[in-house]
Amino acid sequence: MKKKLYEVAHSRAGDKGNTLMLSLIPYNEQDYQALCEKVTAEKVKEHLREIVEGNVIRYEVPNIAALQFVCHQALLGGVTTSLSADTHGKSLSYALLEMEIEF
């Protein structure tokens, strides 16, 4: 069965220059392992292909049952140079949560 990530997790976003950080935190810790298996850096890069121009690196944070995605070249130059309406990329956490996975 396919589910959107927002059905099983929530997300937070942060930025540093032109780099976007997205966390993915399951509502239930029991779902953490499934997210580790299904939400890879490659799949996130593909899902955000119109936004992220650089590499996506995934970090696992098992002690708090979370995943962190570091997305390079994702903010059109960063806060001080971007003409984007969302220079910090806060809305991109919702873009991640729109991703569908087999669950």
pLDDT of 7 reads 97
Q: What would the pLDDT profile of 4-32 be if each residue is shown by its tens digit? A: 999 999 999 987 888 999 999 999 999 99
Supply the pLDDT for residue 48.
95
pLDDT tens digits along 25-34: 999 999 999 9
- Look up the CATH number of the domain holding residue 17: 3.30.70
Mean pLDDT score of the chain, rounded to an integer?
A: 88
Domain tally, the chain: 1
* CB neighbour list of residue 34: distance below 8 Å, 6 or more residues apart: 8, 103
Global pTM value: 0.87
Contact 69, 44 (CB under 8 A): yes
**What residue numbers bound the domain in which 94 lies?**
2-79+87-102
Structure tokens at 93: 């956490």
* C-alpha to C-alpha distance for 10 and 17, rounded to whole angstroms: 24
Determine the pLDDT at residue 75. Answer: 81
CB 23 within 8 A of CB 12: yes
Mean pLDDT, to the nearest integer, of 74-92?
Answer: 57
Which helix (H) or strand (E) element contains residue 20?
strand 19-26
